Amino acid sequence: METPSQPLSLFFVWFFVAGMFSSFCMWLLFAQMTMRRIEKQMKEDGLPDSFIWDGVGGRIVFYACALGFPEKIAYRIDKRLIDARLVRSYSSPGDRICAILFLLLMSCWILGTFVAVLLGEVELRF
């Protein structure tokens, strides 16, 4: 006998898998197409690496924030974690679109997961 929450649980599973897959694909595409090109151009110009340590791909998120957020918000992280002005100077309009898409996909996936947990569709067991 089916419970009333089963269709929503099935929807959540598909949403989670599709969101995770699209977010991870966008993560890889952004890192390979945008971030790698920007870092290569910066090295060719003799600039030092903007990140000394990259913990589990964290710099990808900072590059995306520097490129995807409006200037006033992006400059708030300027010099703390990444030189946002420098990264933006090496970017193209396509890089900014890619960063916005990356940030939107990741945010929707994470927000959808939290909403499902809050609605009780997913039980967290520790």
For 30-68, write each residue's pLDDT tens digit.
999 999 999 899 999 998 776 666 677 788 888 999 999
Domain extent at residue 89: 6-45+58-118
In a domain? residue 126: no
C-alpha separations of 38 from 5, 67, 77, 99, 101 in Å = 47, 11, 18, 13, 18
In a domain? residue 124: no
Name the pTM for this structure.
0.79
In a domain? residue 114: yes
pLDDT computed for residue 1 by the predictor = 46
Alpha-helix residue ranges (DSSP H) falling in the chain: 6-29, 36-44, 58-68, 71-74, 84-89, 93-118
In a domain? residue 1: no
Structurally, the chain folds into a number of domains equal to: 1
pLDDT computed for residue 64 by the predictor = 92
